[in-house]
Chain A
Amino acid sequence: MAKVYTSTVISASVADVWRVVRDFNGLPDWTPFVADSRIEQNMPADQIGCIRNFTLKDGGRIREQLLGLSDYDFTCTYSILESPMGVENYIATLSLSPITDGNATFAEWQADFDCEPDREAALIQQVGGGVFQGAFDALKSRFGR
């Protein structure tokens, strides 16, 4: 099983960052690579089990299901149902923690998945260095750094 872990520090309060990332249907608003998104069957975006169906700017389509959402722990866990990446058993968690020593947020994004062994290194780089870090960088510039 491949594991990805990416983390960063964002110059904004946990409440402010969480308000942005907790919207399971909000990827087009804050990530640089999602063109549009909808929640299937017209479910609320914070209903556990709902499915987001979104299109990447490169045309790829991904379906992901919300497995867990906590306003107490500031965590969001989801799985991939369909994607062009060729991964299986993909489960990811995005979590935020307050940095009390200053008004900032520690953000972590981790994922576990199975894939063809010869593609593992490239996928880890793509997911961790590309998707997660790219989204974090967008958050950091959104909050003024």
Chain B
Amino acid sequence: MVTVRQSTVIDAPVDEVWRTLRDFNGHDRWHPAVAASEIEGGVASDMIGAVRHFRLADGGELREQLLSLSDKDRSFTYCILEAPFPLMNYVATVRLKPVTDGNRTFWEWRSTFDPPSGRRQELSQLVGEGIYRAGFAAIQALLSTPPRSVARGSPPPEPTPYAPSSPAPQAVQIARDHAPSVSPIHAPARDVASRAGEAISVNAIVVDRYGGPDVLEPRRIDLGPPEPGEVRIRHRAIGVNFIDVYCRTGYFDLLPLPGIPGMEAAGVIEAVGQGVTGYSPGERVAYACPPVGAYAEARNMGTDLLVRLPDDISDDIAAATLLKGVTASFLVHDVHRLAASETVLIHAAAGGVGQLLVHWAKDIGATVIATVSTDDKKRIVEGLGADHVIVYSRENFAEAVSRITGGRGADVIYDAVGKDTFAGSLGALAVRGHIVSFGQASGPVGNWDVGRFASKSITLSRPNYGHYTSDPNELATHVGRFYSAVRRGALRLDEPTRYDLADASKAHGDLEARRTTGAIVLIP
């Protein structure tokens, strides 16, 4: 855990400073990093539990909840509900005290949070400098009469709103403004006489610093010729996945800066590097894996990571569903070989992989019990053909599964929800049942005593996408199964929502605000 503690003295009476700070929704009127703020649900800003939803000057969006407010102590405490930075378990307190011999105000702003490993210093600086000290300087400038900060020895900090990297933000800004159109992201120079041809210039989305959707900037970049073993792919559709958001915010360490996000796309081979066999220009291919770099008109990629696209699979469908389809394939065929005689419980069945699992399990002939969080999602999943749909926010799903199966329980459970469902899944499982934990949307599963699994002879799997797809033949098998199931009509795929590549920022904003249903693709 990290503690950040900053304090200052404001040259204004404590009641005046408190009047400005106590409005939980008023920070957009004084903090330089906050562009606009509103209280959700239209409640009063001093109601405990109120949530302020605000947009930063750089486009990132946050939600913070008021936990306590005291006019006696001139203090309030709040936590972050959602943020484009990994400030896990962030709780902060603002407290004012009068300086009685001078009619000034002592202001302390402190917080604790859990940073991802290796980012402690960067995030502490972001909070302490970019938020707290920038706020101090703004209030000092707003309320002090006359400005006395110069006389106090230390100069006021530069307001550096939410610049998360440690180098001087101004220097970074200048470098970016004056940067030539050549991006630092390009392949090393190589023999121009090769059959792969020359470097080309393409439109791409470049991230210079982790943050909100607005850090996704359209830019021209140079793309070198493909290296030996690589091909150059001209993208026709690029998949947008939630993992791209985690890369953009820096939550996952998969996107080195500056860099191009994206892990899933479909397109046509345009050039091939030395030593490439089996692929030639004009072939349609797709991929769904690291390394990142899909948010571009074209990129180079090793052929061992590619799959060939059949003619009847469109670019949009390929880019929107390859990753989810391959995942569903190895979940129902390899991690657990699902049989028609089995009863399967599928959590979050309205989600991307969840919908495919319901379809696929029904196609295999299994009895499908699905859980969803809302009635709207229940209607969607009923439409997919699930035998029973449980709204787990309303009904204890373990009890429901027991009732539906006559006390027997489910033979296999696909659980990507994690923390909120794992204990219930153990209860819903049949003797000799198999839990497949393949995600943790609600939080980590936590520590469990394996000895207790003996009560039902439980089998537990925790598959990793890479371990089921790293072999090109195995990957081809999953892709073949997936497209064959699509072709047979066993899997129904909805057309994805299309955004222009240049509007990647808007696509991320809509995805995070849950304004979208179904998959999203970017069209170069």
Contact = CB atoms under 8 A, between A and B. Distances in A.
Interface stretch (A4-12, A57-65, A81-89, A115-123): A4-12
A99 B152 CA distance: 12
B106 A9 contact: yes
Given A9-B104, A136-B101, A102 B153 contact: yes
A101 interface: yes
Interface in A76-111: 97-104, 106, 108
A55 interface: no
A8 B100 contact: yes
Given A7-B106, A106-B106, A100 B101 contact: no
A105 to B, nearest CB: 10
A104 B152 CA distance: 10
B255 to A, nearest CB: 33
Contacts of B133: 101
Contacts of B7: 97-101, 106
B154 interface: yes
B208 interface: no
A133 interface: yes
A113 B355 CA distance: 69
Contact of A5 (B100, B108, B136, B154): B100
Given A7-B97, A106-B97, A108-B97, A99 B8 contact: yes
B100 A7 contact: yes
B6 interface: yes
Given A99-B7, A100-B8, A9 B154 contact: no
Nearest to A109: B100
Contact of B100 (A6, A100, A103): A6
Contact of B99 (A7, A100, A102): A7
Contact of A106 (B99, B152, B153, B157): B99
A42 B141 CA distance: 53
Given A9-B104, A9-B106, A101 B6 contact: yes
A106 to B, nearest CB: 4
Contacts of A108: 97
A136 B101 CA distance: 10
Contacts of B99: 7-9, 106
B9 interface: yes
Nearest to B133: A101
A73 to B, nearest CB: 12
A4 to B, nearest CB: 10
B5 interface: yes
Contact of A8 (B5, B101, B136): B101
Contacts of A8: 99-102
Contact of A101 (B98, B102, B154): B154
Contacts of A5: 98, 100
Given A101-B154, A102-B152, A102-B154, A133 B101 contact: yes
A133 B102 CA distance: 12
The interface residues of chain A, by DSSP majority, are classed as strand
Contacts of A11: 153
B100 A104 contact: no
Nearest to A136: B101
Interface in A1-25: 5-9, 11
Contacts of A97: 7, 106, 108
B503 to A, nearest CB: 41
A6 B153 CA distance: 24
Given A7-B97, A108-B97, A100 B102 contact: no
Contacts of B152: 102
Contacts of B5: 98, 100
A101 B8 contact: yes
A99 B101 contact: no
B107 to A, nearest CB: 9
A137 to B, nearest CB: 8
Interface string A132-145: 01001000000000
Nearest to B98: A7
B135 to A, nearest CB: 11
A132 B8 CA distance: 22
Nearest to B14: A7
A6 to B, nearest CB: 5
A6 B98 CA distance: 9
Contacts of A101: 6-9, 133, 136, 154, 156-157
Contacts of A106: 7, 9, 97, 99, 106
A102 B106 CA distance: 13
A144 B97 CA distance: 24
Contact of A99 (B9, B102, B157): B9
A80 to B, nearest CB: 22
Interface in B72-129: 97-102, 104, 106, 108
A80 B97 CA distance: 26
Contacts of B102: 8-9
Interface in B118-163: 133, 136, 152-154, 156-157
Given A106-B9, A106-B99, 18 more contacts: A5-B100, A7-B98, A7-B106, A8-B99, A8-B100, A9-B9, A9-B102, A9-B104, A11-B153, A99-B8, A99-B9, A100-B6, A101-B7, A101-B156, A102-B8, A102-B9, A102-B152, A106-B97
Interface of A: 5-9, 11, 97-104, 106, 108, 128, 133, 136
29 contacts: A5-B98, A5-B100, A6-B100, A6-B101, A7-B97, A7-B100, A7-B106, A8-B100, A8-B101, A9-B102, A9-B104, A9-B106, A97-B108, A98-B7, A99-B7, A99-B8, A99-B106, A100-B5, A100-B7, A101-B6, A101-B8, A101-B136, A101-B157, A103-B153, A103-B154, A106-B9, A106-B97, A106-B106, A108-B97
Nearest first, the 5 A-B pairs at minimum CB distance are: A101-B8, A102-B154, A106-B106, A8-B101, A7-B100
